[in-house]
């Protein structure tokens, strides 16, 4: 048995049961992706395909798709992330001012002002639910690590620890990427 799998309007390909399990395990497929049985034309979500054992019986503990997120819940999440980004921007400015006052920390201070500016800019994108937000957070991992290392090397221990907050915000946005992609259902 094979399924044609799609996510929204995007066709992801044709998969056997084993290929669906493998792709789901790698994170290439999500529980809310739609699978169409090529023999019958019947549509179901990947969660339902995975809930049945290969013989067709339903498993007692099927994987669960995340509950849909209402517009109100999505709005609360977006406002929270935007506020986090603004707080992060303020903290980076405070850290930068202290570092600029020292000769050794001046380089890190200037770097942190640039980081603060990017946080304020990102808060605007988050508020508008711009579809590029998840991709920006995916690409930001390396810059977060570099900022943390530079701050740690130049005496900004608090700044190095503040990176943990930025990484937490990144994780939350990536877990709820569907809010920015217009689907309203967070990825599991």
Residue 188 domain-assigned (yes or no): no
Tokens of 107: 């380089």
Q: How confident is the model at residue 47, as a pLDDT? A: 81
Q: Are residues 88 and 45 in the same domain?
A: no
How open is the CA angle 85-164-71, to the nearest 5 degrees?
40
**Phi-psi category of residue 129: left, alpha or beta, with phi > 0 → left and psi -120 to 50 → alpha:** left
Contact 131, 181 (CB under 8 A): yes
Q: Are residues 23 and 88 in the same domain?
A: no
Q: How confident is the model at residue 155, as a pLDDT? A: 62
Number of domains present in the structure of the chain: 2
Q: Are residues 176 and 105 in the same domain?
A: yes
Domain coverage including residue 14: 2-51
Q: Are residues 45 and 83 in the same domain?
A: no
Q: Are residues 11 and 85 in the same domain?
A: no
Q: How confident is the model at residue 185, as a pLDDT? A: 40
Q: Are residues 147 and 82 in the same domain?
A: yes
Contact 86, 123 (CB under 8 A): yes
Q: Are residues 84 and 10 in the same domain?
A: no
Sheet of 43-45: strand order equals 10-16, 2-7, 34-37, 43-45
Q: What is the pLDDT of residues 124-151, one digit of tens each?
A: 888 888 888 888 888 888 888 887 777 7
Q: Are residues 31 and 80 in the same domain?
A: no
Q: How confident is the model at residue 103, as a pLDDT? A: 64
**Whole-angstrom Cα distance, residue 46 to residue 76?**
28
Q: Are residues 38 and 124 in the same domain?
A: no
Q: What is the pLDDT of residues 16-52, one digit of tens each?
A: 888 888 888 788 888 888 999 888 888 888 888 887 7
Nearest to 75 by CA among 126, 8, 7, 151: 126
Phi, psi of 2 (to 5 degrees): -125, 155
pTM of the model: 0.49
Q: What is the pLDDT of residues 83-138, one digit of tens each?
A: 988 998 888 888 777 777 776 667 777 777 888 888 888 888 888 888 888 888 88
Q: Are residues 43 and 128 in the same domain?
A: no
The secondary structure of residue 67, as a DSSP letter, is P
What is the residue-wise DSSP string for 76-127? HHHHHHHHHHHHHHHHHHHHHHHHHTSTTTHHHHHHHHHHHHHHHHHHHHHH
Q: Are residues 113 and 161 in the same domain?
A: yes
Strand partners, 52: 58
Q: How confident is the model at residue 184, as a pLDDT? A: 45
């Amino acid at each position: 048995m094979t399924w044609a799998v799609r996510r929204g309007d995007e066709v992801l390909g044709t998969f056997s049961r084993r290929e669906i399990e493998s792709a789901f395990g790698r994170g290439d497929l999500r529980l809310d992706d739609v699978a169409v049985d090529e023999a019958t034309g019947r549509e179901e979500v990947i969660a339902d395909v995975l809930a049945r054992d290969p013989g067709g019986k339903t498993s007692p503990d099927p994987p669960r798709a995340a509950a849909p997120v209402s517009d109100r819940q999505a709005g609360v999440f977006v406002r929270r992330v935007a506020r986090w980004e603004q707080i992060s921007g303020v903290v980076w400015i405070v850290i930068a001012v202290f570092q600029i006052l020292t000769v050794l920390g001046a380089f890190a201070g200037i770097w942190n002002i640039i980081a603060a500016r990017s946080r304020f800019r990102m808060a605007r994108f988050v508020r508008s639910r711009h579809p590029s937000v998840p991709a920006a957070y995916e690409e930001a991992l390396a810059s977060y690590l570099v900022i943390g290392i530079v701050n740690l090397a130049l005496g900004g221990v608090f700044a190095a620890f503040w990176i943990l907050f930025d990484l937490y915000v990144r994780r939350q946005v990536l877990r709820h990427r569907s809010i920015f992609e217009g689907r309203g259902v967070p990825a599991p």
